[in-house]
Amino acid sequence: MTKGKEPIIRNFHLVCIVNLVVGIIIQFSDESEFSVDMSKIELTHIPRDLSPKTKVLDMSQNYISEIHLSDISFLIELKVLRLSHNRIQCLDFSVFKFNQDLEYLDLSYNQLQKISCHPVMSLKHLDLSFNDFDVLPICKEFGKLTQLNFLGLSATKLKQLDILPIAHLKLGYILLDLEGYYVKENEVESLQIPSTKILHLVFPPNSLFSLQVNISVNIIECLQLTNVKLNEDNCKVLIKFLSDIIRGPNLLNFTLSHMATTWKCFIRVLEFFWPRPVEYLNIYNLTIVGSINKEDFTYSKTTLKALKIEHITHTVFIFSKTALYRAFSEMNIMMLTLSDTTFIHMLCPHTLSTFKFLNFTNNVFTDSIFQECSTLVKLETLILQKNDLENLFKIGLMTKQMPSLKILDVSWNSLQYNTQDGLCTWVGSIVVLNMSSNMLTDSVFRCLPPRVNVLDLHSNRIRSIPEDVNHLEALRELNVAFNSLTKLPGCGAMSSLSVLIIEYNSISNPPGDFFQNCQKMRSIRAGNNPFQCTCELRDFIQSVGQAPSEVVEGWPDSYVCDYPESSKGTPLKDFHVSPLSCNTALLIVTIVVTVLVLAITVTTLCVYFDVPWYLRMVCQWTQTRRRARNIPLEELQRTVQFHAFISYSDHDSAWVKNELLPNLEKEDIRVCLHERNFIPGKSIVENIINCIEKSYKSIFVLSPNFVQSEWCHYELYFAHHNLFHEGSNNLILILLEPIPQDNIPSKYHKLKALMTQRTYLEWPKEKSKHGLFWANIIAAFNAKLTLVTENSDEKDPT
């Protein structure tokens, strides 16, 4: 609720005091860093180790009995010194001569009997009240304290002479403690108090009010009397005292605190005040002793605007409630406050009432209050905070007869709305409704005044705000803090909502489009909710970032992640998730694209660099190396004459002669060629078999030409069935040119099988690959193989 909406008059009676105190407090509040609190720590001296920068020093409620110059002179920046409730008996003001900035000095509640004077020119607040002074402790030098605003004094004797030095000062507040004031029989003094805004007189707490001194004041706005104990007899003493002091038209504000009186005398006092120019009458701590009976009293015309009574006790329990309540209900004033009482009821005024403002905070009123009461026609503000109200329906009904009611405060009760009671009826004029700290649930939204502007529902039991609530078009401010809401409300039904307080609920995922839906939102306070920091929250965080900073109150400090565990405690402002991990479609697309790109790259690389060819070659090379190693050497050496027999088609002979042979022979590989090594006289077949059998390996140069050659097939057939080295281990197939599968005649199933097994080495076209190709061929031969010479063979008598 904005401050401006509170009725100014409501606080008026405080104005006198607040003006003065606030001035001093505000002035020092920014110096808190140099403020030292040493109260209540059983000090007997002012400690020496204080910082010379100390500006505010509180040493109240200790056992200090003396102050010396050296205790305090180094605190040259000291502005405020609180020494109340100590044991100082004697004070020389010259101890403060180096504290040139000292403005506030509180020496109340000590045992001071004597002071010696030395002006501290900077003093604005000097409190010497509640000490053991005999005469008023006013030095001649005090007359020079032109800055002085507050002066607290105490004395057991009052003499006009004593007050003369300050008679010309214009003070804000004089506190005169007369607790020890001692009255000599039949001696009546008179005392002229200097000009002051506020005069506060404190009388002895335990004796009946009596006063043997004529106190008069020049100009005074507020008068406060503390400890006023009255009975039937001395009631007139007070009345006499009051009529003396309230002469001029200036006294507007009158306060009585700690007043004990009979009901009869209380009524007399009210009767006294009614026709006076006093506008605000406050009574704090009123005790009514004795019986309460009907007193005849009619309220005359009055300038009194407000009566405020806080904390009433009465000592008798059986009394006329009507007499008590009637005395208040019939008052012809605008504002009445009766708070902190044991009153259970208030009567409906008999005639049309003047009340505009009624404050019944902290009583024991029930739902029966003002039911069917049609005389409160001017009532604008009704405060029923902290009572025993239970039924919201009845509260609505009560207001029905208050056509001017604008502000209703029923906070801190036990209110519930039971839908069985039927539709609520409210007076249409209510604009501010405070129902905080009750037991209301979601149903309360079906029982609201039609034109409510400001609605306070904090600290109730609301779980959700229904979407379809009627009559909330006028709602501008809604406070639903400290409930159990799990969602932010939509602004659909609350089209004027501009202030929303929804902190301390159970909202985990506020929607990202909240600000779009609530265009009029000026201020939202949604901190201290258990935010779930997951993808869904991103939009909200983003939208907060875009909103003007003053709109989201408490940001960023009270907006903190609660879940998941890993983010607990992280401010929402620092919570980031990548857009990728929050968007499944995007994630899938990214993965697919990545895989595709990778596949294409690999394929391209393979095709471009012929990687599979290299892999195959390396693989075969290692296999051959291994196999070659496994064959027992001796056995081989006994039988073979050549390393290799080469079978090829005549059409390929150029390649064999120019490429194959030179490369093999370079590595000392002996080759059996049919043209070169054929033994004349033997048949071709015999020669082939002979050549194959004498060779460790057989190399076949495959090409379409090879396939066409009948002889080559024979050679292949024989080589494959070599008796000595069974299996295809002894075959090396070189594919010189690709052979289309269909070109191989079907009868050559052996060749077909070999081709499909792809155990051949392809002759690469690219020169760069030739090295690896040859390495692979050569690896198939065991280098250590020492062969039987051809000569010995020739000598052989075959």
Contact set with ligand NAG (CB under 6 A): 1, 385, 409, 411-412, 434, 436-437, 454, 456
CB 190 within 8 A of CB 166: no
From the number of C-beta atoms within 10 Å of its C-beta (0-12, 13-18, 19+), residue 113 rates as middle
DSSP code per residue over 733-790 = EEESS---GGGS-TT-HHHHHHHHHT-SEE--SSGGGHHHHHHHHHHTS-TT-PPPPH
149 versus 437: smaller Cβ distance to ligand NAG: 437
Residue 524 has φ and ψ, to the nearest 5°, of -130, 135
**At 499, is the secondary structure helix, strand, or coil?**
strand
Beta-strand runs (E) in 560-694: 561-563, 642-647, 671-672
Asked if the bond preceding 564 is cis, omega within 30° of 0, the reply is yes
* Token pair listed for 736: 């010189």
Asked whether 437 and 414 are in contact (CB, 8 A), the reply is: no
- Provide, rounded to whole angstroms, the least separation between the CB of residue 160 and ligand NAG: 49
- CA distances 269 to 162, 220, 231, 330, Å, are 32, 20, 12, 16
For residue 528, give the 3-state DSSP assignment.
coil
Q: Which is nearer to ligand NAG, 209 or 412 (CB)?
A: 412
Q: At closest approach, how far in Å is the CB of 180 from ligand NAG?
A: 41
**Six token digits for residue 338:** 């009766």
What helix, strand, coil percent values describe the chain, rounded to 5? 30, 20, 50
User: Which residues are CB-contacts of 62 (< 8 A; sequence separation ≥ 6)?
Assistant: 38, 39, 40, 41, 42, 43, 44, 85, 86
Measured distance CA(129)–CA(179) in Å, rounded = 10
Distance between CA atoms of residues 144 and 736, nearest Å: 126
Nearest CA to 174 out of 202, 151, 144, 205 is that of: 151
Residue 749, Cβ neighbours under 10 Å: how many?
Answer: 10
Residue 229: burial class (beta carbons within 10 Å; 0-12, 13-18, 19+) = buried
Cα(641)–Cα(18) distance, rounded to whole angstroms?
126
* Cα dist from 313 to 219, 275, 492, whole Å: 34, 27, 50
Q: How far is the CB of 458 from ligand NAG (least distance, A)?
A: 8
Closest by Cα among 213, 304, 195, 181 to 254: 304
Q: Are strands 432-434 and 104-106 parallel, antiparallel or unpaired?
A: unpaired
Cα angle 335, 337, 341; round to 5: 160
Q: What contacts 692, CB < 8 A, 6 or more positions away? A: 645, 698, 715, 718, 719, 722
Beta bridge partners of residue 283, listed in sequence order: 256, 309
Q: At what angle do helices 611-630 and 584-609 cross, to 10 degrees?
A: 60
Return the closest-CA partner of residue 213 out of 229, 198, 196, 192: 192
Distant-in-sequence, close-in-space partners of 700: CB < 8 Å, separation ≥ 6: 646, 647, 648, 706, 712, 715, 716, 719, 731, 732, 733, 734
- H-run or E-run covering 715: helix 710-720
The structure tokens 């004027």 sit at 496
Within 8-66, residue ranges assigned H as helices are 15-29
